[in-house]
Amino acid sequence: MSGRSWIILVVIFLILLIAGGIVYYMWRSAPEELTPPAQAPAAGPAPQPTPPTAVIPAGTLITYTASGYSPSTLTVRVGTVVTFKNNSAGPMWPASAMHPSHAVYPTIGGCVGSTFDACKPIQPGETWTFEFDIAGKWKYHDHLSPAFTGTVVVGETSQPEPYK
């Protein structure tokens, strides 16, 4: 073999070696099955799915359709349990803003960030509830369709308060 053939052979070998290293690195660093990280205990009660036959108090229901959440803004008192009902043809996943961290609502827990996270898709016809135990203006989104958003305003009274 000539000197030039050896150089070409070495270059091809190095390219294959580098490509193999990149593939190996990507394979080793790829996330395995998603498991919830260990979290500190939740500051409030854990959110629970509600049975489909539950009676939902007036003014505490947010419905999800193909158009998004309705009402887009709901005002409630501290301690109110809000029910998210899926009236769409596909799943929904209500969670605290910001996507994808879900960490705006300030209680630690849930599967990603805060306890204000359903942690799984809610199927058509099903409901999910969350108790808002901290006053504030809490934005949320559908984790599966992040463009669909809403706000729950939580105050000491059910009247809207000026939040900035």
- The partner residues of 112 in beta bridges, in order of sequence, read none
Q: Residue 74 has which token pair? A: 């709901």
Residue 106's alpha-carbon distances to 36, 44, 114, 140, 144, in angstroms, are 18, 10, 6, 13, 22
CATH number of 53-155: 2.60.40.420
Q: 75 pLDDT band (50/70/90 cuts)?
A: very high
Amino acid at 27: W
Summary mean pLDDT of the chain: 77
Residue ranges of domains in the chain: 1-29, 53-155
pLDDT tens-digit profile of 24-68? 655 554 444 333 444 444 555 555 555 554 556 667 899 999 999
Reduce the DSSP state of residue 157 to 3 states and report it.
coil
By DSSP bridging, strand 136-142 and strand 94-96 are antiparallel
By DSSP bridging, strand 127-132 and strand 94-96 are unpaired
What residues contact 69, with CB distance under 8 A and at least 6 apart?
62, 63, 84, 94, 140, 142, 148, 149, 150
pTM of the model: 0.61
CB 123 within 8 A of CB 34: no
